[in-house]
């Protein structure tokens, strides 16, 4: 009887403490092991009602560990992480045609035994033009061993600054901007959407200028924008713009790619590990939570969905367990004021014309 009372009290407290900001975006699914995990309803460019689980699994281990620019997550890591994630109760997986883990994600979700209809898979296509995007989409379906994608994004509004796609896409040849490539790729996504091969379409790394370009087509508005966002680097104006236009804001590198020092292959770490930041540790102690839970909760209280990457099953459970407490306004503000002069982990998409 006593323990039943404790459980009821816990349920009451956790429901009460879901922030009102977050509540605006949610419906509690109650279907995973972590029954407090909410989902957000995507508003634009969706077929019917599309609910996106707040917590996803990142599957790109980018880096220079071997000094060649190679990635240190391959299909083995993609498989193991996806399998463990689905076993832990996670239901969303963040993938891309550009990641070398996609085949592993497929074997992982199949091995889990979780029905495809209960899993939310995101994939992405670079700005490569209409025909190329349609072809890449066929490759994505084959690689992920599925006949539809829940959410398909344009990965970048052009080449990542500092990299050059080879061969240069036909839509870019002889042109100074990536506009044609973006527009053509968006039209390809719209085509796939109309064919119901994708349940929702959106973008990634798009700034306000890139989004306005899509708005001006007078067609579909993206459902999601996936952008780098963490206490070291947060574009609050972009977040505000997206939310005002019903574009769900999906952060990437929510932990500022915590192992970036590893992939830089150096013990000298130009950007200190956010998990060790004194303010984050102090707040974590106050709420009896881990640093990572504080960092993720800070995002969720702003209505942001996220996809931290981890191979560790205990970390997965931790990441799925951020819905039973609430940070005070003051603590939210302290986290928002953490900045670092070299804080951007990925190239700046605002440089892409």
Residues engaged in binding ligand NAP (CB under 6 A): 58-60, 94, 155, 204-205, 226, 252-259, 292, 307-312, 315, 318-319, 346
- Which of these, 235, 259, 239, lies nearest to 309 by C-alpha position? 259
Token pair, residue 50, equals 């599309």
**Residue of 17, 72, 99, 252 marked catalytic:** 99
- Which of these, 50, 78, 133, 139, lies nearest to 309 by C-alpha position? 78
Q: How far is the CB of 197 from ligand NAP (least distance, A)?
A: 21
Residue nearest to ligand NAP (CB): 58
Using CA atoms, how far residue 240 sits from 12, 56, 81, 147, 245, in Å, is: 31, 22, 32, 34, 9
Active-site annotation holds for 337? no
Q: How far is the CB of 121 from ligand NAP (least distance, A)?
A: 12
Distance CA 95, CA 59 (A): 6
Binding residues: 155
Distance CA 34, CA 69 (A): 37
Cβ distance to ligand NAP smaller for residue 8 or 70: 70
Cβ distance to ligand NAP smaller for residue 25 or 155: 155
Q: How far is the CB of 59 from ligand NAP (least distance, A)?
A: 5
Asked whether 335 and 283 are in contact (CB, 8 A), the reply is yes
Cβ distance to ligand NAP smaller for residue 228 or 331: 228
121-137: b (≥16 Cβ within 10 Å) or e: bbbbbbbbbbebbbebb
Cβ distance to ligand NAP smaller for residue 85 or 252: 252
Q: In what order do the strands lie in the sheet with 198-204?
A: 56-58, 92-94, 120-125, 149-154, 198-204, 224-228, 248-252, 305-306
Q: How far is the CB of 271 from ligand NAP (least distance, A)?
A: 12
Active site residues: 99
């Amino acid at each position: 009887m006593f323990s039943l009372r404790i459980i009821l009290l816990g349920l009451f407290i956790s429901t009460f403490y879901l922030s009102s900001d977050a509540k605006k975006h949610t419906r509690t699914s109650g279907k995973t092991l972590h029954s407090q995990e909410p989902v957000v309803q995507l508003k634009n460019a969706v077929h019917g009602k599309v609910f996106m689980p707040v917590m996803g699994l990142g599957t790109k281990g980018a880096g220079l560990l071997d000094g060649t620019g190679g990635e240190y997550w391959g299909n083995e890591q993609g498989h193991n992480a996806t399998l463990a994630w689905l076993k832990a109760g996670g239901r969303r997986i963040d993938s891309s045609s550009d990641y070398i883990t996609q085949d592993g994600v497929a074997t992982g979700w199949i091995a889990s035994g979780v029905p495809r209809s209960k899993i939310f898979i995101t994939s992405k296509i670079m700005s490569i033009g209409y025909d190329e995007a349609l072809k890449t989409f066929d490759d994505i379906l084959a690689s992920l061993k599925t006949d539809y994608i829940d959410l398909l994004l344009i990965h970048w509004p052009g080449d990542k600054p500092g990299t050059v796609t080879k061969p240069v896409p036909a839509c870019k040849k002889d042109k100074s901007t990536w506009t044609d490539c973006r527009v053509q790729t968006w039209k390809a996504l719209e085509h796939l959407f109309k064919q119901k091969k994708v349940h929702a379409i959106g973008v990634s790394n798009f700034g306000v200028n890139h989004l306005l370009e899509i708005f001006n087509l007078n067609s579909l508005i993206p459902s999601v924008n996936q952008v780098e966002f963490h206490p070291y680097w947060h574009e609050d104006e972009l977040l505000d713009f997206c939310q005002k236009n019903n574009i769900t804001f999906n952060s990437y590198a929510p932990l500022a790619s915590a192992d970036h020092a590893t992939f830089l292959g150096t013990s000298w770490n130009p950007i200190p590990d956010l998990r060790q930041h004194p303010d984050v540790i102090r707040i974590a102690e106050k709420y009896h939570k881990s640093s990572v839970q504080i960092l993720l909760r800070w995002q969720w209280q702003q209505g942001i969905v996220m996809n931290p990457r981890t191979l560790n099953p205990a970390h997965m459970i931790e990441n799925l367990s951020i819905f039973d407490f609430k940070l005070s306004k003051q603590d939210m503000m302290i986290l928002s004021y953490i900045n670092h002069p070299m804080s951007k982990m990925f190239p700046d998409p605002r440089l892409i014309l």
